[in-house]
Each structure stands twice: as structure tokens, then as C-alpha cells.
Structure 1
Amino acid sequence: MRTNGGTAAVMGGFRTWAVAGLAAALVVAGITGARAAPVQTEHTLSQLVAEGAAVPGQPLWVALDQKLQDGWHTYWINPGDSGLPTEVTWTLPPGWKAGPLDFPAPHRFTTGPLVNYGYEKATRVLVRLDVPADARPGGTVTLTAAANWLICADVCVPEDATLTLDVPVASSAAPDAAVAPLFAEARAALPVPSPYAASVSGGKTVITLRLAAPGLTADQVKDAYFFAENPDLVEAGAPQPVSFTKDGLVLTLKPTGRAKPGPVNGILEVTELVDGRPTTQALAIAIADGAGTPAASGGAAAGSAAAVLPLWQAVLFACLGGMVLNLMPCVFPVLSMKAMALVRHQGAHARVHGLVYTAGVLACFATIAAVLMALRAGGQEIGWGFQLQSPLVVAVLAYVMLLLGLSMSGVFTVGDRFMGAGQELTQGDGYAASFFTGVLASVVATPCTAPFMGAAVGYALLQPWYVALAVFLALGFGMALPFLALASSPWLLRHMPRPGAWMERLKQVLAFPLYGSAAWLVWVFAVQVGAIGMANILIGVVLVGFAAWLYGVTHYADGWRRRGGALGALVALVLAVTAVAAHDGGGDAAAAPGGATKVSGADGFETFSPATLDKLRADGRPVLVDFTAAWCITCLVNERVALSSDTVHQALKSRDVALLKGDWTNRDAEITRVLQAHGRSGVPLYLFYRPGQAEPDVWPQILTEAQVLDAVGSLPKRSASAE
């Protein structure tokens, strides 16, 4: 857009003032090489500023520092009712990577009925650059940023500039003291993570944002306003009435009607009266289960299917998923053990056993649902299988599997005095055996995620407690249904093999899957806590074996020998649990920032982080993200069956697919949020990002090699020069 002669004269004065002022500021500050030469455009003076020298393998922060002509403004990520955000395209040395732009908290500009979000006078946008580990100290690299922005007053002018910055590479460096105030001010202008939990609800006519901050009252808060990152979420020009309840602040927003279901990100600006003076704080809000952006930061996908499931479909999916759980290897040994006992029963007796088994399953699933919902209500970021993120729970399950296996192998038995407990809890003929077999089968099923159940459980965790309970009970009923059908069918019972000596032999054979389950759980524990924890749980396994043997050889003795054997066995079990209890919070296992387990690059996968994903996508590479856990049987089977073959590796390599792995073995809130954003409550989750595609493809929970090859094969092959 051209200006007239009067405006040109004004602009000439602006250029002279801006350049002279900036030069004077540099001299006063004594800055000698921390900044590049500024570039003057019609209404803006722009330059790049580095926080210090580049150090191989460490991040370097760079600021896009802009001074604006008085009366003019630029725009935030969401410009509001009109405008365009600032964009930067980087040209960097080989191996360097640029992260997303970190914008300061915006201001509101009102023009008639329109409201815009942006900045006036000056703005500093921060960018993290990842310096490759093979950068050579002693040299200098040139960073080039092609920036474009829209600057407006009564009229709007698109501007652009190519900015360059020469940065020295050093083996070690501290931040440049000369530019430290600039970066301190830039970081102070960024929104801070909200100390309060936030939630969003609503529909086509109204969106309600709730901030769980009981300490905020109408007497304290002068104003509150929500800047949504997604311009399709909220009408920027609409009023945002604020009210208060005993639970905190409530903001009423007007939806545009264009947003898809998904996470909500933005900034809640709260102006409080402190000693009679208004003080404004910008709180960064990230809500995984809202009705917001199609794509959240770090690859949180658009609109989760679970968020829009009707209740009847969620219940149906849960029931089907529960039925499929019976086919998972973690459930088979326990279920087989109980199914074998049915050959002793007929008619009404067998049906009662089926009902009692079902009651045990439902009781366990109801308990899991209650604990899970209570923890989530308290702010915990957890999902399906959360209990197996506790090393102590994993260790105790390993001990239980070992004891069951030893009992089935004949190392020890429990006498009639403990009917309803001990052996009767899982493998006897009484009703207590059926009930606790249902409980045990449900507990060991939690590492597994079957088809259908992912969407159903994801839906349940976003609903009120009574809806969530209904879905979890449907999941339990589906799991119990095959056994209940067997116990209730006289025809099926008649066609089962007759009791005989083969039953004892089969019971001994079924002990070995239980030993395998115990060994697998020991491995999971070692992954969670490291080598020291591995030694402790192996000591515990020896103590459990000793306790079983001691109880077995003294059980039928008389007097003090039987009591002494029982007491010795109990002491050994207590010592076994004590050996692993200290590692419940994690041990020496390598952890990535945020609690995620570091992933070895030996299989081609790097550790998942939102920043890494954003950088890879910005480079135009296809990305496969595998969210997994060591205790997830489904995940391990998929990795072995569908992701580990040479054919798959070659297909991924030939199309330059970047591989990221999010390990949820230990609790990680960041991974939990990504799972929730895709309507999942647990792993596995496979996200496949195609270049130029805003939303990822979500692969099935049960993978085959053919499915992977078909998805990857649709990408163009990498050129020979890229090889």
C-alpha cells in the first residue's frame, strides 16, 4: 500500500528517529556483536538478537525484536476479527532446527465492533534454535530469517524483511550480559502456566470457561478476558461476562460455530486489584478435553472421536472391547484356570459360579473407575492402566503371578481352614474362588487395550462420574460375558471334557504362562526403576519362592512347626514387598524432561516431545509417533508384529519418515494430554503426520505389517540426493 507525500515525510522522520534511537541504545548498553544490523521497513524497525554464542548440542535462544511506529500495531497468533500473525521462515546451517515462535501475551485493539489481538510500540518474539552436536567451535554461522507481518493503523500495510545474524560457535558460553535485560523482558512478557485447573463446556450458542480458583472473588478481580489461539473458537468482538462461584471464576464466551471438537489453548488475562492497584497477569491455558483447536501444540490432534460418541455407542464399544480382552495374553492364564474348574459343576451350580465371577469382574472395574475418576478430579493426569505406572503395584502383581504358578505346580496348597481365602481365592471350587478370579483377571487385563475400548474409555473420562461408571461396568460385563455364557449353557458344559487325571496335568501346564507373566512384570519393573530395582525385585522373587516352599513343607506338620512355617512364610513375603517398596517413585531409570522415559535411538526412534514433533513437521518430514509402555502387551505385540521387520524399516527410511516414541511406562502428564486430545485413555496410540496435513492419521490399536506398509507406501520416496 502506497502513502501520500505527507505520510512519506512522517515516515522519513520515523526512520531517522528509530535508527538513531536504536544506535544510541546500543552504545549506552555497550552491545557489540549480540545483535545484527537492524532492517528498516515503512513502519517497523526489525532485527535479530542472539542470547549468546552457539554451543554444540545446546539450544540457542534468538529474539525477533521489532519497534513499531506510534499508532501502529502488529498481530498475535490469533489476530482476532481481522489481521494476520507474524510469520518467520528460517534458513539455517545444516543440522540446525528452529522451534515455533513464542509470542508475548497480546493486547486488545478495538475498532468499532471489531476486536483485534496484537502489539503496539514494540514486540519481541522468542525462538529456540537447536544447535547440532557436530557444530564446530571457533567458527561463525549465519542465521537468516525471512519475516513477514501485517502492521495496521487506520490502514493496513503488509511488510517483510530478510534478517541475518552472525553467531559465533563456542565450546561453552554464558548468556551475553549485554542482551540479558532484553531477554529477561521478553520472557517476562510471555504468559505463565496457569496455577489453576481450567475446563470448558458448552455448545452451539455458548461456551463456558471455568477456572478452579476458589481464592478469586468479584472483589479482587477487576476484569478477565480469554484470548483463544484458535480463531474459529470464540467471537473476538463479543463480550465475555465474568462471574464467580465457590469454585472459582466463570467466563461466558460466544462461539463462532466453526470450531471442531478438540483441545483448547489460549491465554486468560486476569486483572486483579492488589493494594488498590490493578495488576494484570496472563495465564497460559491448555485444556485437552475442550471444544477447541483442530491441532494443539505438540501434535494434539483435532477433534477426538470420543468427545462426540453417543452414550449407547460408548457402552457398546466398551462391551465389545471387554470381550476382546479375554483373548489378550495377560488374561488367558487366569481365565483358563477358572474355566477348567467348571468341568466339576453342572446346572444351577455352574450358573451361580458364572454370576459370582461376573460380580468379581464388575466390582474390580467399578473400583478402578472410582479411583481413576477421583484422582483425575484431584488434577492427576492419568488414564487406563495407571496403576501399572506404579513400580510397587507391578512388583506385587509379579509376586501374585509367581505364587499362583507355584501353587498350580504343587509347591504348596492351602488347607480347608482357609476356605474362601488363599487357594480358594482363585483356584478352589467355592464361590469366593470365582469372585476373586474375576477380580484378578480384571487387574491383569489393565495393561491391555483392545479394539473398541480405547474410544469408549476415552469418552468415559470426559463425562460425569455416573456416565463413566456405566461405561466401565459395560467394559467389565463384556469381559465377563464369555465365561458367564459358558457357565450358563448346559449344552456347552455337557460338551466339555469330563473330569480326570488330565486336569491335574493341565493345571501344571497352565502354571508356565503364569511364570511367563511374572517374568514379564519383573522386566517392566526393571524398565521403570533401573538396574538397582532389578536386583531388588529378583531378591524379592527368591523370597516369595522361599515363602511358598516353607509354607508347603510345614503346612501339614503339627503344632509349632506349622505355625512357625506360616510365620516364616509371612515374614519372607513382607521382606519381598519391602525390597521393592522404596522404588515406587522411580529409581535410576533415565528420564526425559517432564517425566517421560528416555528412548534409545537404536531402533530408529527418538524420544517424543512436542518441540521435537513441531520441528520435524516444520522441516516438512513425515512423522510417526508411537505412544507405548513396557507394561502394555498390545504395544509390545504391535512392535514385534508390525513395526520391527526389515521391510517396514526400509519403507520408513526410503520415505524419510521421522520416528518418535512416547514412553508412558512411568507417569507422564504431557503424554496423557496428547492421548486425551485423541480420545484415548491409554496406550497404544499411533499418530502418522503427513507433510502439509494439519491433522495426523490415527492408526488402529491392533496393527499389522500390511497396514503400516500401505500407509507409508502412499508417501513419495526420498530423492537419491537426499539419501
Structure 2
Amino acid sequence: MGGFRKWAVYLVALAGFTAASASAVPVQTEHTVSQLVAEGPAVPGQPLWVALDQKLQDGWHTYWINPGDSGLPTEVNWTLPAGWKAGPLNFPAPHRFTTGPLVNYGYEKATRVLARLDVPADAKPGSTVTLTAAANWLICADVCVPEDATLTLDVPVTAGGTPDPAVAPMFAEARAALPVPSPYAASVSATKAAVTVRLAAPGLTADQVKDAYFFAENPDLVEAGAPQQLAVTRDGLTLTLKPTGRATPGPVNGILEVTELVNGQPTTQALAIAIPADGVGAAPAGGGMSADTGNAPVLPLWQAVLFACLGGMVLNLMPCVFPVLSMKAMALVRHQGAHARLHGLVYTAGVLACFAAIAIVLMALRAGGQEIGWGFQLQSPLVVAVLAYVMLLLGLSMSGVFTVGDQFMGVGQGLTQGDGYAGSFFTGVLASVVATPCTAPFMGAAVGYALVQPWYVALAVFLALGFGMALPFLALACSPWLLRHLPKPGAWMERLKQVLAFPLYGSAAWLVWVFAVQVGAPGMTGILVGLVLVGFAAWLYGVTHYAEGWGRRGGALAALAALALAVAAVVPQAVGNAAPAADGKAVAMTDGFEAFSPATLEKLRADGRPVLVDFTAAWCITCLVNERVALSSDTVHQALKSHNVALLKGDWTNRDAEITRVLQAHGRSGVPLYLFYRPGQAEPDVWPQILTESQVLEAVGTLPKQSASAR
């Protein structure tokens, strides 16, 4: 545009600002004239609405919250007087701009973005305050230019006041451009191929509705440039959209633009849609995996809590929990009546405290963008190493190498005197920590539901899981009849205690193996040295525990120093370290499995082969038991081979955001997850979390037999 014409446009734009906003100086940038406008004076304790009023050069446009296929949204950073607060920006409904295959969302010619400012109750009438907004935006035509401006507005503070009549039409127009809350209920579901938005509007007919378009606030939800297919039925309207494959479960917000015929004339209305996480089906699966609401049902809260409680009870039967619970097997033999009930309640408190802590950390990390799930702490090599040390210490204690206190009450005994209630509490904590590698029946749906709910709902589900885990021991402690039928104390207790040390040694060995898988063979030196130091600390504490004076204190201090050195020995390999790619593939490709990748899965399915995908982790004992019991026999191998089933394994031992998204897409928060893709079937069969050989053979047996040459 020539210089004269350009300046003429700006003069017209400046003339378009209202005289009432004279105290706010318009700021001119290359393609925009911007100004702050207040709806009236500031009144103490009442909200004040302010508009960012922008006039755009002809042929140029700015962008909405979601800019579409390209662009950046307008942003405002406020500098306000003390006590003032700014709410979120309220954008008008956007327009669509098409450039070749790209679709963008935004505004042309002019736009007004509203913001609510909360005026503090102690603002002084008669004073004048200065509001400052640092605004930045991207404005585009054939080229895009980032622009910014620092805008100021002087606002008088009065004891009472009404909106300025000079700017009332402008604010009325700005509010009329905002989307209105939808009068109809909306829902969303998703598969690999489509995101479906449904509006329950039985009053609408196909003759009335001429067009509809959904502007999603989240740019990762759907492809802006893809067509949106409209269907109108007697129950309402449905839009079928193309997913990006990048979205994660969560609320869905946006604007549904509906064009209706009213008296023969098309009328467009922008409806604000806000769908909470519990109204959303499975989010689009990342990396080529697929999901729908059939695989990830939305549970009612009562059912999720019930499933969590049942799953927690079943956790007590898992081999990863038994070594710790075995330490409590003898505790109630020494106690009766109220004393035993108190130990049961304290143990339950320890379990609940640990589950609450795990839930809070898990939700906080996920809110911060971390793609993690159930058992996330065992994806940290440092946590695995420390747990291996704890298991070894407990085993050495039960073998008599050292004794903490006069009676054995489990981990934490040394933190208390007399009754040893801290021992019961910390035994509950430790049992909860080592239970997280396990996934029991009912747990998958419950925990998957919890992780897409508000924090208070998620916390309730996790506490129900913990209560279910503690319930059998609590019931035993509170039942006089059961306590009377427990074996009487005797010499057998010492021998049993020594026998029960060996499951703890086995758990320590298993954790060392997990550590090796996570950091690779070269990182094993640190944890092996650490185990020697832990053994030395236990022996040193044992031989000096009954010494006098400085001998006893010196032994304890030296033992603590050895434990500190044991932790330090694994830190270089554990912190920020992961197994080399070669090691990970070696694990994933055992027993005929190939390493999972979306591309490999899609290629195998395109070839018409059935595919079994096993999502597992080295620290998941449920996974390892399933692989040993249900997937490793010669009979199963022969059945899989005769039906030409391709085998893929997704190794979640270390954090993997892609696998996390697949788990979430199927309503799961942790492993194991078994997906069985049949040829010609869009969605996979989801196998149970506890597998048997007969279940695998039955599922595979329904396939037609193929020869290996069919590959």
C-alpha cells in the first residue's frame, strides 16, 4: 500500500475511536491501531470491564485462541495497581480464513477483546489509576508480521458510577460478538480416525440446519484444515472431525457455530461448548493407535470407587506385595483386643497416606505436562535402587544380622518406643510403594477414570484403592474371633521370621534386575557396590548396637555413613539415565516379540496380519507373571505361529510418552495392557490384565490358520 493511502487508513481508524476514551492514547503499529477502552469509572469492590480495541489494515487479520493451521493468538500482560486483578481474555467468535489447504481462525478489519478487572474494595474515590497492558499479536496477509504495543489507560475512581454512555454501544457490540452458552448438552468421543462432537438438540431438523462448524480451543484436538462432516438426526446434530493424534484426555472447550434458516434467512449463532473430562470419550490416540468409548468407558463415580476398592483388595494377593505383608503376619500374634485394633488402624493410615501422596504427586506432574501413569515412581532408577536397599535391609533384619528395638514390628520400628505403632504405619507405607508395580483386576478402569477427573474425584478413587488394600489386615485386626484363632506365640515365630527373609532377598534381586534394565549393564557397578555397603552397614549396626557409650553411637553413625555412600554410589547412573536403545530392544524382542512402534503396527495391519501388542515393564510383576504363565508356553507359541500372529512389545520400564498416550487412549493408567488386532477389525480386542494360557488360546483359535508365507 502506498504511503499516502496507508496514512489515510490510519487517520480513519483513529477517528473511529470514541471521544470518551481520550484519556487512553491510541498506539499505531505498522498494520494496526490499538487502544484500551474502559466501560466506565472504577468503583471500589466492583468489576470494571476493559476492551482491547484494535483496527486492522484492510486485507490483514489477527488470530483467535486457537489460530488454526498457523498463526499465534493475541496475548496481553497486565501491569495493574496494587490489589487489582485481571481475569482471562474474552475473545469474540472467530472467522475462518482459507489459504490453499490451510484454515486459520481469527479476525479482520477490527476486533475487541474484553477483560474483566476486579477493583479492590480499598480503592480511593477521587484518585486516578493507570492501567498498563503489554499486548502482542501476529497480523498476517500474504506475509505475517509480529506486532506489539504497550497500552495505557487512566481511569478515575469514584464512589459510585454507571457505564459511560459514549462507549455503551461499543461494549454492547463486543458482547454480542461473544459466543453464548449452549442451551443443549454436548459430548465428545474419539477414535483413531475421527473425533465426534454431538449436540443433543432434538428440536433441530435437517431442513433448518444448513451448516455447522466446531472451533476447538485446543489446537491439538482436531485438524483445522480438514472438512467437518455434518449429520442431523432426530436426536440432534453430529460433527465428525479429523484428529491430529496429539491430544490427551481432558476437558474439551470450543465454539460450535450453527447456521439455521429463520424465516427463510440464514442466521448464524456461536455456541460456547464446555465438556468436562468425564463427558469425553477416549482422547485421540497418539502414534497411530486407536481407541473409542467402547474401550475406555466413562464410569460413574460410585462404580470407579467400588472398582478401586476391589482392585486394592486383590493387590494383597500379588507377589510384589507379599514380602512386605509377610512381616506383619506375626505382628498380631502378640496383640489382642484394642491393642490389635489400633495397629490395624495405624497400618491403614499408613496405606492411605502413601496412596494420597502418590496421587497428589502423580496429578501434579501430569498437570505440569508429564505423560506418566500408575507405577511412575518405579520408572526412576534411583527409587528402584533405594527400594532394593530397603528390601535387603529388611531381609537382613529378619535373618538376625541386626535388630531394631526389642520386638520386630516391621520397617519404621526404630522411629517409636513401646507399642511400636510407627512400625505399623511405615509398614503400610512400604506395602503401598511396592504395590504400585502391580495391576489387579478392576484397577485399570478405576485408575484410568481417576486420571481424567478433577483432583478431588481422583483423590477419592486413589484413597478407595488404598482402603481396599488395607481392608483385609484391618478386618483381621478388628475381629476378636479371627484373632483368637491365630497361632499362639512360640519358638516357631523366630524360625518363620528367618524363612520369610528370603522373599525379601528375592525382591531385592528382582529390583536389581529392574535397575539393570533401566540403566544398562554398565550402570550395574554402582548398585552392586551399594548392596555391599548396605550389608556392611547392617552388620556394623548389629555388632555395635549393644556396645556402651561412644561405641554404640559411633557404630550407628558409621552405619548411616555407609548407607549414605550406598545411595551416592547409584546416583550417577540413576539420575537422568536410561538404558541404551540396544538394551531396550533386546528386552522387547524376547520370545519372538519385536519392539513396538506405530509405524510397525500400521505396516503389519496393512499386510493383513493379526497383531498382539504387549505393553509391559520390567518392574511390573503382573506383566512378568502373565508372560511366564500365559504367553511363554510351547503351545501358545505354536498357536501364534500357526495363525501368523505378529508380536509387538511396548517396553514402559523407562518413561515413554508415546506408550503413555496409548494407555490413556484405552482408559488405562499403567501396564499391563494387551491389544489384539484382528484383520479387518478397526478396533483391537482388549485382553484381561490377568491372563491365562486358555484365554490366549481361545482368542487366537478364532482366527483362520495362515502359513508363514502369508507375511
User: For 2:414 and 2:661, how far apart are their aligned partners in 1?
Assistant: 42
> Which residue of structure 1 lines up, in the alignment, with residue 194 of structure 2?
230
Q: Deviations over 1:113-148 (max 9, x none)?
A: xx99999699xxxxxxxxxxxxxxxxxxxxxxxxxx
> Which residue of structure 1 lines up, in the alignment, with residue 301 of structure 2?
311
- What's the secondary structure of 2:581's corresponding residue? coil
The answer as to 2:491 corresponding to 1:527 is no
**8 Å contact from structure 2 (residues 673, 687) kept in 1:** yes
1:435-450 to 2 correspondence within 5 Å? 435-450=425-440
Counterpart of 1:476 (choices 466, 469, 473) is 466
The answer as to 2:696 corresponding to 1:708 is yes
User: For 2:557 and 2:597, how far apart are their aligned partners in 1?
Assistant: 50
User: For 1:202 and 1:481, how far apart are their aligned partners in 2?
Assistant: 45
Aligned amino acid, residue 347 of structure 1: G
The alpha-carbon distance between structure 1 residues 368 and 305, as it changes in their structure 2 partners (threshold 3 A), is: same
User: For 2:284 and 2:278, how far apart are their aligned partners in 1?
Assistant: 11
**8 Å contact from structure 2 (residues 284, 665) kept in 1:** no
> Which residue of structure 2 lines up, in the alignment, with residue 346 of structure 1?
336
> Which residue of structure 1 lines up, in the alignment, with residue 656 of structure 2?
668
The alpha-carbon distance between structure 1 residues 563 and 296, as it changes in their structure 2 partners (threshold 3 A), is: closer
User: For 1:655 and 1:702, how far apart are their aligned partners in 2?
Assistant: 23
1:61-210 to 2 correspondence within 5 Å? 205-206=185-186
The alpha-carbon distance between structure 1 residues 496 and 576, as it changes in their structure 2 partners (threshold 3 A), is: same
Where structure 1 has 5 or more consecutive residues not aligned to the other structure, the ranges are 1-103, 107-114, 123-200, 210-227, 245-250, 271-286
**8 Å contact from structure 1 (residues 617, 691) kept in 2:** yes
**8 Å contact from structure 1 (residues 234, 255) kept in 2:** no
User: For 2:674 and 2:411, how far apart are their aligned partners in 1?
Assistant: 42
The alpha-carbon distance between structure 1 residues 263 and 432, as it changes in their structure 2 partners (threshold 3 A), is: farther
- What's the secondary structure of 2:288's corresponding residue? coil
- What's the secondary structure of 1:583's corresponding residue? helix
Counterpart of 2:317 (choices 312, 327, 330) is 327
- What's the secondary structure of 1:463's corresponding residue? coil
The answer as to 2:582 corresponding to 1:618 is no
User: For 2:508 and 2:653, how far apart are their aligned partners in 1?
Assistant: 17
User: For 2:241 and 2:482, how far apart are their aligned partners in 1?
Assistant: 47
**Scaled by the length of structure 2, what TM-score is found?**
0.63
Where structure 2 has 5 or more consecutive residues not aligned to the other structure, the ranges are 1-67, 71-94, 103-180, 200-209, 219-223, 232-236, 255-276
**Scaled by the length of structure 1, what TM-score is found?**
0.62
Once the two structures are TM-superposed, the CA of residue 582 in structure 1 deviates from its matched residue by 1.5
**8 Å contact from structure 1 (residues 366, 473) kept in 2:** yes
User: For 2:97 and 2:708, how far apart are their aligned partners in 1?
Assistant: 46
Q: Deviations over 1:522-542 (max 9, x none)?
A: 000000001122121111000
The alpha-carbon distance between structure 1 residues 304 and 566, as it changes in their structure 2 partners (threshold 3 A), is: farther
> Which residue of structure 2 lines up, in the alignment, with residue 463 of structure 1?
453
Once the two structures are TM-superposed, the CA of residue 349 in structure 1 deviates from its matched residue by 1.1
Q: Deviations over 1:85-126 (max 9, x none)?
A: xxxxxxxxxxxxxxxxxxx969xxxxxxxx99999699xxxx
The alpha-carbon distance between structure 1 residues 330 and 291, as it changes in their structure 2 partners (threshold 3 A), is: closer
Once the two structures are TM-superposed, the CA of residue 205 in structure 1 deviates from its matched residue by 3.6
User: For 1:705 and 1:640, how far apart are their aligned partners in 2?
Assistant: 10
The answer as to 2:634 corresponding to 1:646 is yes
> Which residue of structure 2 lines up, in the alignment, with residue 365 of structure 1?
355
Once the two structures are TM-superposed, the CA of residue 415 in structure 1 deviates from its matched residue by 3.8
**8 Å contact from structure 1 (residues 264, 290) kept in 2:** no
Supply the RMSD in Å over aligned alpha carbons: 4.0
The alpha-carbon distance between structure 1 residues 294 and 543, as it changes in their structure 2 partners (threshold 3 A), is: closer
**8 Å contact from structure 1 (residues 533, 587) kept in 2:** no
- What's the secondary structure of 1:379's corresponding residue? coil
User: For 2:578 and 2:364, how far apart are their aligned partners in 1?
Assistant: 30
- What's the secondary structure of 2:464's corresponding residue? helix
**8 Å contact from structure 1 (residues 528, 586) kept in 2:** no
Once the two structures are TM-superposed, the CA of residue 611 in structure 1 deviates from its matched residue by 1.2
The alpha-carbon distance between structure 1 residues 296 and 483, as it changes in their structure 2 partners (threshold 3 A), is: same
User: For 2:343 and 2:629, how far apart are their aligned partners in 1?
Assistant: 37
**8 Å contact from structure 1 (residues 403, 545) kept in 2:** yes
Once the two structures are TM-superposed, the CA of residue 418 in structure 1 deviates from its matched residue by 13
**8 Å contact from structure 1 (residues 651, 709) kept in 2:** yes
> Which residue of structure 2 lines up, in the alignment, with residue 693 of structure 1?
681
User: For 1:260 and 1:450, how far apart are their aligned partners in 2?
Assistant: 36
**8 Å contact from structure 2 (residues 398, 501) kept in 1:** yes
Q: Deviations over 1:7-53 (max 9, x none)?
A: xxxxxxxxxxxxxxxxxxxxxxxxxxxxxxxxxxxxxxxxxxxxxxx
**8 Å contact from structure 2 (residues 411, 426) kept in 1:** no
Q: Deviations over 1:555-611 (max 9, x none)?
A: 11112221221121111101100111122245462238xx97664534211111111
User: For 2:241 and 2:435, how far apart are their aligned partners in 1?
Assistant: 31
Number of residue pairs the alignment of both structures matches: 492
Counterpart of 2:667 (choices 658, 679, 698) is 679
The answer as to 2:619 corresponding to 1:658 is no
User: For 1:605 and 1:515, how far apart are their aligned partners in 2?
Assistant: 30
Q: Deviations over 1:211-245 (max 9, x none)?
A: xxxxxxxxxxxxxxxxx96264479942446889x
User: For 1:351 and 1:479, how far apart are their aligned partners in 2?
Assistant: 17
Aligned amino acid, residue 601 of structure 1: M
Aligned amino acid, residue 404 of structure 2: V
> Which residue of structure 1 lines up, in the alignment, with residue 14 of structure 2?
none
Once the two structures are TM-superposed, the CA of residue 347 in structure 1 deviates from its matched residue by 0.9
User: For 2:665 and 2:406, how far apart are their aligned partners in 1?
Assistant: 52
Aligned amino acid, residue 700 of structure 1: P
The answer as to 2:388 corresponding to 1:398 is yes
User: For 2:214 and 2:708, how far apart are their aligned partners in 1?
Assistant: 56
